[in-house]
Each structure stands twice: as structure tokens, then as C-alpha cells.
Amino acid sequence: MFLKLVLLSVFFVSVSFVIMGIRVLFSKTRTFPVTEIGKNRDMKKLGISCPRTLDALSRKGKTDFSGCVSCALYSQGE
């Protein structure tokens, strides 16, 4: 019973890796999509940067969170 469970788990994990790799195999650039916030071009276009960078800037007082009324960072500044 344990061996069947292990083999089934290995099968599902390997199938998931194959499915995730299909995009990489058939794309022209053959690279994985950028998921890190600080390096993603679309996130930069929206003005979203790395959470560590935002935290460091907010500790130095260099960011303005006044536009984010529902954000926890805004309520901490009051």
C-alpha cells in the first residue's frame, strides 16, 4: 500500500513538472517567466516594487502611503 502511494505521488509530481515545462519548451525565448516582483517588467510598469525595498524606504520615511487608506501601513503612520 505504501509503495503504491509513493509511486502515485511521484507520478503526479512528474506530470506537474512536465505541464509547467510545456510553456518553456514551446516558447521562442525558452526561459521561465519572471515571477520575482523586483525583476518583473509588468510590475514595474504598475509601480510595484520589491516588498523589501518598500519596507526599507518606509523605514527611512521616503515613501508616501497617504493614497492607501485601507492599507495597514497607512494606519500605522497615524
- Quote the pLDDT of residue 9: 97
DSSP run (H or E) holding 18: helix 2-26
Distance CA 65, CA 27 (A): 39
pLDDT in tens, the chain (78 residues): 899 999 999 999 999 988 888 877 777 776 766 777 777 788 778 777 777 777 777 778 766 655 555 555 544 544
Kindly tell me the burial class for residue 50, based on how many C-beta atoms sit within 10 Å of its own C-beta (0-12, 13-18, 19 or more): middle
